[in-house]
Chain A
Amino acid sequence: MPKKTKQKSKYTLSHFKRELPLHLMLLPGLAIILIFSYVPMAGLIIAFQDFIPSKGMFGDQEWVGLKNFEYVFHLPGFGQAMKNTVIIAFWKIILGLVVPVIFALLLNEVRFIKFKKTVQTIVYLPYFLSWVVLGGIFLDILSPSTGIINQIITALGGKEIFFLGDNEYFRETLIVTDVWKNFGYGAIVYLAAILGIDTDLYEAAKIDGANRWRQTWHVTLPGMRMIIVLMMVLSLGNVLNAGFDQVFNFYCIYLGILFSGV
């Protein structure tokens, strides 16, 4: 391999020849992403058109400017839906960040390896289940008459709560179950980040007289800062999505029962 020179040389034929295999390797991935991600993105222009499907996706459609948006904004349920989305997304992002970080910190304090491994595996389990399956599971568990959670609540003297039907509790149910499903997975990323922190830093902190709390606060957390910010940024992409899969399942299951009249 030719020695790399720091100065910027011109892009020559020899460069191209050397890099050609790398470009070729990127080709299949690039093709898929162009077709299945960028073409639909370009397809978003239909938002500004009076779209008639029979004319085709990029056909000769009539442009209507922001009329479609106006229509949506004036729908009666829009304000409430927007409010719900923002509240749900906000709490999911905050709790989806705080809970795994705290869990990772707690797990990191465990010295008994077998316990650590077992807890980690169990907590990781819900991540592998689809929302469809979990929808079914929670429907049974949160059921007001036969569900185990409500049995516990009534046994403790409370009144049973219809978690999936009562609109006072639906948002909270969504948030809690989402955090429940994903915190084990999130914690793995943070645990990896903790393991990556230089142990010399802890030695230095100890010599300076820091106890465990201060070590966590001044060494572990700053060491995780980069990964926390990264995960935060990535989760921001889901704000207006607010977990479509989950809501779709939980809500439709409830409607299905309602309409079947059981």
Chain B
Amino acid sequence: MRKKTKGRIAFQIINYSILALLAALCLFPILNILAMSFSSATAVSAGKVSVFPVEFTASAYSYVMGKKEFWTSLIKSLERVLIGVPLSMVITIMTAYPLSKDNSQLRARSVYAWVFFFTMLFSGGLIPGYLLIQNLHMMDTIWALILPTTISVYNIVLMLNFFRNIPKELEEAALIDGANQFQTCFLIYVPCAKPSIATLTLFSFVTQWNSYFDGLIFSNFPSSYPLASYLYTVVVKRDLSTLSLDDFKLLTMVDDR
């Protein structure tokens, strides 16, 4: 059986310490900022906060909660996620299913696959993308945010690989029982791929929730910003034109830098 040599034990100890250190490195900044958010401004600027809050206060949170823009942008973000994620998942599944077939079942498969893969390497970039949204009259609508990000080719590739791992016999049995391709896809394949669909839903949620840049450029008015874009304006323009004098005073209470 496996014998534990001295070198092996030493390696294990070092290995565990390195991994624990890495985990701490990833967790620490997040804990630090969380502690700061619950600490008073004086404690933060004195640099006394590490992982636990000092002079506990929730004034930062009540400041944010009191802002009307926060709530409108939160609703915008929720709307985006609630429409965008299901739409994106349905289209991803419907695209990945035919692409997971052999060339013998779908002759044009490679052509389709290249059409999708090509967009992974090349894109039109910022200005043509902006002009397109403008020409489609989608500025300031939720669709400007949802539709361009509906398809992630990366997710499609993952999905079709999951579909390929499902035994072919299931599909053949379904077809013999008289199911058409749509039924095979949504009644046989989708239930079989539930775990991977859950993973991809999470990815898609994170993308939709976190993207801020499209919100910034596809909106003419700050009122149509999703949460991430609003957050960007808050973080970047801490005390520029968007803030009134009262706001500024409030802000110094929260953070006196």
A interface residues (Cβ-Cβ under 8 A, vs B): 1, 4, 11, 15, 19, 21-23, 25-26, 28-30, 32-33, 35-44, 46, 53, 56-57, 103, 106-107, 109-110, 115, 118-119, 122-123, 125-133, 135-141, 143, 145-148, 151, 180, 184, 212, 234, 237, 245, 248-249, 252-253, 256-257, 259-260, 262
Expressed in whole angstroms, the minimum distance between the Cβ of A242 and any Cβ of chain B is 14
Q: Which residues of B contact A23 (CB under 8 A)?
A: 98, 106, 108
Taking A1-B176, A29-B91, A43-B124 as contacts, is the C-beta distance between A126 and B119 under 8 angstroms? no
Instruction: Give the CA-CA distance A254 to B147 in the complex, in Å.
Output: 32
Which of B68-76, B78-86, B128-136 makes up part of the contact surface? Answer: B128-136
The answer for the CA separation of A127 and B18 in the assembled complex, in Å, is: 20
- With A21-B181, A110-B16, A262-B257 as contacts: A32 and B147 at CB distance below 8 Å: yes
In the complex, are the beta carbons of B98 and A110 less than 8 A apart?
no
Q: In the complex, are the beta carbons of A137 and B29 less than 8 A apart? A: yes
Residues of A within 8 A of B33 (CB): 136-137, 140-141
Question: B132: which of A33, A39, A143 is its contact (CB, 8 Å)?
Answer: A39
Which of A43, A122, A128 is the one whose CB lies under 8 Å from B206?
A: A128
In the bound complex, what is the Cα–Cα distance between A28 and B156 (angstroms)? 13
Q: Contact at B123–A40, with CB atoms within 8 Å?
A: yes
Please, how many angstroms separate the alpha-carbon atoms of A133 and B98 in the complex? Answer: 38
Closest B residue to A28 by beta carbon equals B91
- CA–CA, A228 to B239, complex, Å? 45
Contact partner of B98 (CB less than 8 A), chosen from A26, A119, A137, is A26
Could you list which residues of chain B lie within 8 angstroms of chain A, going by C-beta atoms?
A: 8, 11-12, 15-16, 18-20, 22-23, 25-27, 29-30, 32-33, 36, 44-47, 49-50, 91-92, 94-95, 97-99, 101, 104-108, 112, 115-116, 119-125, 127-129, 131-132, 135, 147-148, 150-151, 154, 156, 172, 175-176, 180-182, 185, 206, 209-213, 228, 231-232, 235-240, 257
Name the prevailing secondary structure of the B interface residues.
helix
Whether A256 contacts B101 by the Cβ 8 Å rule is: no
A256 in complex: contacting residue of B20, B125, B237, CB < 8 Å: B237
Contact of A151 among B30, B47, B95, B151 (CB under 8 A): B47
A119, A135, A143, A245, most chain B CB atoms within 10 A: A119
How many angstroms from the CA of A43 to the CA of B132 in the assembled complex?
9
What distance in Å separates the Cβ of A180 from its nearest Cβ neighbour in chain B? 7
B91 close to A32 (CB less than 8 A): yes
Interchain CB contact under 8 A, B124 and A41: yes
Measured between alpha carbons, how far is A33 from B155 in the docked complex, in Å?
Answer: 14
Q: Are A37 and B50 in contact (CB under 8 A)?
A: no
Specify the chain A residue showing the minimal Cβ separation from B19.
Answer: A119
* Residue pair B112, A25 in contact (C-beta under 8 Å): no
State how many angstroms separate the Cβ of B30 from the closest Cβ of chain A: 7
Contacts A1-B175, A25-B181, A234-B120; A110 near B15 (Cβ below 8 A): yes
Cβ contact within 8 Å between B112 and A30: yes
Cβ distance A210 to chain B, nearest Cβ, rounded Å: 14
Provide the main secondary structure of the chain A interface.
helix
Of the candidates A56, A107, A256, A257, the one having the most CB atoms from chain B within 10 angstroms of its own CB is: A256
Are B18 and A132 in contact (CB-based, < 8 A)? no
In the complex the two chains form, is B12's CB within 8 Å of A109's CB? yes
A66 to chain B, nearest CB (A): 17
Shortest distance from the beta carbon of B60 to any chain A beta carbon, whole Å: 12
- Whether B131 lies near A43 (C-beta < 8 A) is yes
B23-A118 in contact (CB<8A): yes
A111 CB to nearest chain B CB (Å): 8
Chain B residues near A19: list those with CB within 8 A.
105-107
CB distance from B209 to the nearest CB of A (A): 8
Which 5 A-B residue pairings sit nearest by Cβ, starting from the closest? A40-B124, A43-B128, A29-B95, A130-B210, A21-B181
- Shortest C-beta distance, B114 to chain A (Å), equals 12
Q: Contact: A29 with B151, CB < 8 Å?
A: yes
A32 and B30 alpha carbons, distance in the complex (Å): 37
Given A26-B95, A40-B125, A146-B45, A256 and B236 contact (CB-CB distance below 8 Å) = yes
What is the chain B residue whose CB lies nearest that of A116? Answer: B19
Closest residue of chain B to A41 (Cβ to Cβ) is B124
Determine if A252 and B91 form an interchain contact, defined as CB atoms under 8 angstroms apart: no
- Please give the distance in Å from B9's CB to the nearest CB on chain A: 12
Q: Which of B25, B49, B236 contacts A252 (CB 8 A)?
A: B236
- B50, B98, B228 pick with most chain A CB within 10 angstroms: B98
Cβ of B235: which chain A residues have Cβ within 8 Å of it? Answer: 132, 135-136, 139, 249, 253, 256
27 A-B pairs whose Cβ atoms sit less than 8 Å apart in the complex: A1-B176, A22-B106, A23-B98, A23-B108, A25-B181, A30-B115, A32-B147, A36-B148, A36-B151, A43-B132, A46-B131, A57-B128, A110-B19, A115-B19, A122-B23, A122-B26, A122-B27, A123-B23, A125-B30, A127-B206, A129-B30, A148-B47, A212-B11, A237-B122, A249-B236, A257-B257, A260-B237
